[in-house]
Amino acid sequence: MRAITQDRYGQPDILRLQDVSEPKIGDTDLLVRVHAAGLNAADGHMLTGVPMPLRLVTGLRRPREPILGTELSGVVEAVGSAVTDFAVGDEVITEIGRGSLAEVARVEAKLAVRKPRNLTHQQAAALPLASITALKAVRDVGKVESGQHVLINGASSGVGIYAVQMAVARGAKVTGVCSTKNVEMVRSLGGHHVIDYTTDDFTQTSERFDVLIDIVSSRSLESSRQVLTDNGRFVMVGDMTMGKWLGVGRQFRTVMKDPFVSQSLKPMLAKTNRADLEAIVDMVEAGTVRPVIDHVYPLEETAAAMRQVLGGHTRGKIVVEIAK
């Protein structure tokens, strides 16, 4: 099978399209023919090996798993002997952690769900990791409720597009922060107000918010806290300030500050599970949430796709098409 591989850490030019052996599946696995794979900031970290502490998990000198990619949409080709809830031919989506940029992938059956019936494989591949991250930020950590005022910094990002829609669906009044070119898109997702960060600084607004979901960390923690109510909740999803060695500096400061202020300051990491992914599929099929795709690249142009991911400022998700 063809797959996108890396034999060392580095920039997108190290990626190679190679023929490799198909993965073997265990009793609780699925073998999935991949139709499309979504790309995320996590793929950038896996490619570059930065921040360095990540390599304690992924491999010190080179990735233990050479095939890049974290999420996919595809069709089941084989099932493990202990799998009872999927059959050959089922269309599924999942986040697998590593190895989705290949024609065939091994998937843990317990993490897979059936693809939304109203989405193409390309659209469905844009769901798993970003939408689960948004769900955790809005529902579990931000605890967004009807009538609250919510600010989402990074509203046009892969996670932001889902966070806007989910907060709106919960009855919140949502303000999104994005660049000029994405203002109308954020409004189309239900954003009640949009701040263009190229002309305005959201930390200088006179409005106060019950929840701030910070996806891009473009402002300091202290300045961001100023726009929260006294009992507001700050949810740190991402950190664009991560350096080569210290990948958790802002998270650490957030945790350390939390006990000493009236506001709730919480960093978060999302972990894929079937219940949350099924909840997202329900939202998509009900029309509550929809993916937004910036660009679809063929497998042969994965390096270009990763350059766009590493460059930031994407409009929704980047997707790689692997099979028609």
**Domains, the chain, with CATH or none:** 2-127+291-321 (3.90.180.10), 130-267 (3.40.50.720)
How do beta strands 16-19 and 91-95 pair?
Answer: unpaired
Residue 275: what residue type?
A
Q: Decide if 245 contacts 53 (C-beta within 8 A).
A: yes
Residues 6+ apart with CB under 8 A from 288: 165, 166, 169
- What integer pLDDT is reported at residue 241 of this predicted model? 52
Per-residue confidence (pLDDT) for residue 68, from 0 to 100:
95
Q: Which residue has the tokens 């954020």?
A: 186
Distance CA 190, CA 286 (A): 16
> For residue 245, what pLDDT is reported?
47
What pLDDT, on a 0 to 100 scale, did the predictor assign at position 249?
A: 63
Tell me, what's the pLDDT at 262? 86
- Let me know: does 72 contact 94? Beta carbons within 8 Å: yes
The pLDDT score that the predictor gives to residue 251 is: 72
- The token duo for 187 is 């409004």
Q: Which residues of the chain have pLDDT under 70?
A: 239-250, 252
- Mind giving me the DSSP string for 278-319? HHHHHHHHHTS----EEEEEEGGGHHHHHHHHHH---SSEEE
Looking at residue 261, its pLDDT comes to 86
Model pLDDT, residue 258: 79
- Which amino acid does the sequence have at 310? L
pLDDT of residue 243: 54
